[in-house]
C-alpha cells in the first residue's frame, strides 16, 4: 500500500499480486494501471461484436466477443480490489474463454455435434466449482497454459491452409502479441524486486493486458475469416478507420 492512502477494500486476500504498488493513485483502485489497461480489450471486443452481429456471423462469434468483454470486466474488478472473491471473476472466465476457443477451432471437424459443447460446458462448470473451493494457484496457471497450447496446432493448421496475405498477417499478429505479451508477463512476475528499484515501473502486467486485448481481437478476426471461407461467404480483410482489420463477407442470396 502506498503511504498516506488508505484501502477502501480492506486487506488483500487474493493469492496473487503483481509488481504495481497498491493504492498508489486512489483508495478505490488497488492496482491502477492493471485495472485501466483492460479498457482496450473491451473496446476491441465491442467492435468485433458489432461486426459479427451486423454481418450475421454464427452466434458462437458473438458469444466469443462477449466472453472477451466479461473477462476484461472481471480482470478490472480483481485488480481494483485484490480480493479473492473477485479473483475468481478474473481466472474462471479465462478458462471458459479458452474452452470456447477450443470449441470454435475443433467443432467444424467434430462428427458428434452435441458431445463437444456438452463436455466443454460440464468441464467449465466443474472447474469453476473446484477453483472456488481449492483456490488453485500454480495449478491454475499450468492448466491455462495447457488449454492455450491445445489451441495452437489447429490455429497453425488454419494458417497454412489460408492463402490470403492479409488473413495470414492476422495470424502473425496473433502470434507476435502472444509472444511479446508473455515476455511482459514473465518480466513483471520474475523480476519484480529489481523493477521496484527502477525510477519508472514499465507496468509489464498492464502491457500484458493491452497486448492480450489485441491478441484476442486478431485471433477472433482470423477465425471469423476462416469460418467464412468454410461457408463460402467470400471473406475479405478490410480496415476500420484505416488501421484496424475486420472481416467483410458476401453471403449467397440463398442464405
For residue 84, say whether it is annotated as part of any ligand binding site.
Answer: no
For residue 25, say whether it is annotated as part of any ligand binding site.
Answer: no
Q: Which of 16, 42, 34, 31 is nearest to 213 (CA)?
A: 42
Cell of 122: 460440464
For residue 143, say whether it is annotated as part of any ligand binding site.
Answer: no
Whether residue 73 contacts residue 46, with contact meaning beta carbons closer than 8 Å, is answered with: no
Q: What is the rounded distance in angstroms from the CA atom of residue 45 to the CA atom of residue 69?
A: 6
The Cα-based distances of 105 to 99, 110, 204, 218, 220 in angstroms read 10, 10, 30, 14, 11
**Residue 108 CB coordination number (10 Å):** 12
For residue 20, say whether it is annotated as part of any ligand binding site.
Answer: yes
DSSP-assigned beta bridge partners for residue 248: 236
The Cα-based distances of 29 to 17, 25, 83, 90, 189 in angstroms read 14, 7, 12, 16, 20
For residue 31, say whether it is annotated as part of any ligand binding site.
Answer: yes
Say if strands 236-240 and 244-248 run parallel, antiparallel, or are unpaired: antiparallel
Summarize the annotated binding site as residue ranges.
18, 20, 22, 31, 79, 205, 209
Summarize the annotated binding site for Zn(2+) as residue ranges.
79, 205, 209
Summarize the annotated binding site for Ca(2+) as residue ranges.
18, 20, 22, 31
Amino acid at each position: 500500500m502506498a503511504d498516506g492512502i488508505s484501502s477502501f477494500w480492506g486487506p488483500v486476500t487474493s493469492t496473487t499480486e503483481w509488481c504495481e504498488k497498491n493504492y498508489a493513485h486512489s483508495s478505490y483502485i488497488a492496482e491502477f494501471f492493471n485495472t485501466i489497461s483492460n479498457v482496450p480489450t473491451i473496446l476491441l471486443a465491442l467492435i468485433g461484436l458489432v461486426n459479427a452481429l451486423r454481418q450475421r456471423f454464427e452466434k458462437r462469434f458473438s458469444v466469443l466477443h462477449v466472453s472477451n468483454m466479461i473477462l476484461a470486466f472481471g480482470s478490472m474488478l480483481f485488480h481494483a480490489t485484490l480480493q479473492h472473491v473477485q479473483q475468481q471473476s478474473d481466472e474462471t472466465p479465462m478458462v471458459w474463454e479458452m474452452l470456447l476457443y477450443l470449441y470454435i477451432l475443433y467443432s467444424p471437424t467434430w462428427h458428434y455435434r452435441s458431445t463437444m459443447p456438452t463436455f466443454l460446458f460440464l468441464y467449465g462448470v466443474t472447474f469453476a466449482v473446484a477453483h472456488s473451493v481449492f483456490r488453485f494457484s500454480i495449478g491454475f496457471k499450468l492448466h491455462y497454459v495447457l488449454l492455450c497450447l491445445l489451441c495452437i496446432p489447429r490455429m497453425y493448421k488454419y494458417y497454412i491452409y489460408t492463402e490470403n496475405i492479409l488473413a495470414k498477417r492476422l495470424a502473425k499478429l496473433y502470434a507476435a502479441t502472444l509472444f511479446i505479451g508473455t515476455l511482459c508477463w514473465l518480466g513483471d512476475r520474475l523480476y519484480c524486486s529489481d523493477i521496484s528499484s527502477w525510477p519508472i515501473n514499465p507496468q509489464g502486467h498492464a502491457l500484458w493486458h493491452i497486448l492480450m486485448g489485441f491478441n484476442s481481437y486478431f485471433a477472433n478476426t482470423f477465425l471469423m475469416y476462416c469460418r467464412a471461407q468454410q461457408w463460402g461467404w467470400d471473406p475479405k480483410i478490410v480496415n476500420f478507420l484505416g488501421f484496424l482489420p475486420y472481416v467483410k463477407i458476401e453471403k449467397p442470396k440463398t442464405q
